[in-house]
Amino acid sequence: MTAGSLGEFEGQPLLRVERLRKYYPFTKGILFAKTLGQVKAVDDISFTIAAGETLGLVGESGCGKTTTSKLILNLEEPSEGRILLRGKPIHGLAGDALREYRARVQAVFQDPWSSLNPRMMVGRTIAESLIVTGWGNRTDIAERVRELLEQVGLRQDQATQYPHEFSGGQRQRIALASALASEPQLIVLDEPVSALDVSIRAQMMNLLKDIQARSNVAYLLVAHDLATVRHMADQTVVMYLGKIVEYAATQTLFDNVLHPYTKALFSAVLRPRPDRREEEIVLAGEVPSPLNPPSGCRFHTRCPFAMAHCSREEPPLREVEPGHLVACHLYDAAAAPAFARMKEEIVPT
């Protein structure tokens, strides 16, 4: 199995991300802006999402998850690499093609504040996304708005309220309703449930799964809550400082965490009933800067298992167990026999 075939059920994957990079210039000052260097927000990542599938994306704050989301949403241009929807590159689209892409790929972002127009009643906001994508006549639209409000658990009378009249959690559901409006093929969910209380979060997760079962929509789910990822995602990608460090089917990964960063991540999960004090792996050392990432393995400055060559050689992402990709020198031996073969297959060109 290769990176390309992970999550690929039938023929072409819905979305293919190939060797994607996004560097931001790091400047100082406003008037006489001086470029100090580049933030390697996303640095050579590849993955695929199949139709009807959920890919979970987790990793340290600032590791490039939102940047990846924005690239997929075509809100940012990649510095290098490309993204294909059903085999067609998405960047460089214009006019009708771009409009169609926007209808097919929707988003619910980290902060629902930014995605809602404060001067528009929420029913109108949802209707607006239907009008843009050419959804039937007025009665159809009114009917669809009613249906969407109900789906996300809001009362009909709330359609005539303005965003500021809702709580953070309620606004997040309005954002989901407008994302669902145009019946997209892929929804990028950047922490869609982190602002919700656990009961509404559970409702929302069930709802997302129901909608997926019905419409075969795919999700890219960015989340900090690992239990949420475990419940929602078919595949899971773990990122660290712009790179993918671990990638496998969710069940495979959660059953057998291999990368030292992922281990630290899992050990930091706080449980409501910490009956047995689980060993917490405290990451020593400062959080490295993406402006000047460490040489070799980017995690070596904080890795409790780091070896001498970790600071020199960058470990490639490769299959160390069936269907389980890891970028870490600890698994050099495990990967060695398959290495020559893997090297060619994993890195799509």
Partner 1 sequence: MSIAEQGVAIAEAPSDDIVLDVRDLQTYFFLRRGIVKAVDGVSFALRRGEVLGLVGESGCGKSLTALSIMRLLPKGSARTIHGEVLLNGEDILEKTPNEMREIRGRKISMILQDPQTSLNPVFTIGEQLREAIFRRTRGRTREVMREAVAALRRVDIAAPEQRLGQFPHQMSGGMKQRVVGAISISGRPEVLIADEPTTALDVTIQLQYLKLLKRLQEETRMAILFITHDFGVVARMCDRVAVMYAGRIVECGPVDQVFDNPSHPYTQALIASVPKMTGSTERLYTIEGQPPSLMDLPVGCRFAPRCPYADQRCLAAYPPSFTVGAEHTADCWRMTAA
Ligand X SMILES: Nc1ncnc2c1ncn2[C@@H]1O[C@H](COP(=O)(O)OP(=O)(O)OP(=O)(O)O)[C@@H](O)[C@H]1O
Site for ligand X in 176-205 (CB under 6 A): 197
- How many Cα atoms are found within 13 Å in the side-chain-facing hemisphere of 140? 9
Report the partner that residue 292 touches, choosing among partner 1, ligand SF4, ligand X, none (CB closer than 5 to 8 A by kind): partner 1
Residue closer to ligand X (CB basis): 141 or 204: 204
Instruction: Tell me, residue by residue from 41 to 70, as one string, x for binding to Mg ion by CB under 5 A and - for no binding.
Output: -------------------------x----
Q: What one-character-per-residue DSSP string does 189-216 give? A: EESSSTTS-HHHHHHHHHHHHHHHHHH-
Q: Where do the DSSP E strands lie in 144-183?
A: none
Residue 41 engages ligand X in binding (rule: CB under 6 A)? yes
Q: How far is CA 95 from CA 101, 183, 349, in A?
A: 10, 20, 29
Tokens of 33: 């802006």
Please classify residue 107 by burial: count the beta carbons closer than 10 Å to its beta carbon, then call 0-12 exposed, 13-18 middle and 19+ buried: buried
Residue closer to ligand SF4 (CB basis): 54 or 262: 262
Would you tell me which residues interact with partner 1 (CB under 8 A)? 24, 26-29, 36, 58-62, 66, 110-111, 113-114, 153, 155, 157, 164-170, 172, 191, 194-203, 205-206, 209, 224-228, 230-231, 254, 264-265, 268-274, 280, 282-283, 286-292
- How many Cα atoms are found within 13 Å in the side-chain-facing hemisphere of 16? 19
Interacting span for ligand SF4 (CB under 6 A) from 52-60, 93-101, 220-228, 301-309: 301-309
Taking CB under 6 A as the criterion, the residue among 80, 100, 143, 165 binding ligand X is: 165
- Name the residue type at position 147: E
Report the partner that residue 286 touches, choosing among ligand SF4, ligand X, partner 1, none (CB closer than 5 to 8 A by kind): partner 1
Residue closer to partner 1 (CB basis): 94 or 284: 284
Interacting span for ligand X (CB under 6 A) from 61-69, 89-97, 99-107, 314-322: 61-69
Q: What one-character-per-residue DSSP string does 35-92 give? A: EEEEEEEEEEEEEEE-TT-EEEEEESTTSSHHHHHHHHTTSS--SEEEEEETTEE-TT
Residue 39 engages ligand X in binding (rule: CB under 6 A)? yes
Residues 129, 48: Cα–Cα separation, whole Å: 27
Residues sharing a CB contact under 8 Å with residue 143, sequence separation 6 or more, in sequence order: none
Residue 260 engages ligand SF4 in binding (rule: CB under 6 A)? yes
Taking CB under 6 A as the criterion, the residue among 23, 47, 109, 166 binding ligand X is: 166
Phi, psi of 172 (to 5 degrees): -65, -35
- How many Cα atoms are found within 13 Å in the side-chain-facing hemisphere of 202? 2
Instruction: Tell me, residue by residue from 95 to 134, as one string, x for binding to ligand SF4 by CB under 6 A and - for no binding.
Output: ----------------------------------------
Q: For binding to Mg ion (CB under 5 A), which residues are involved? A: 66
Q: For binding to ligand SF4 (CB under 6 A), which residues are involved? A: 260, 297, 299-300, 303, 305-307, 310, 315, 328-330
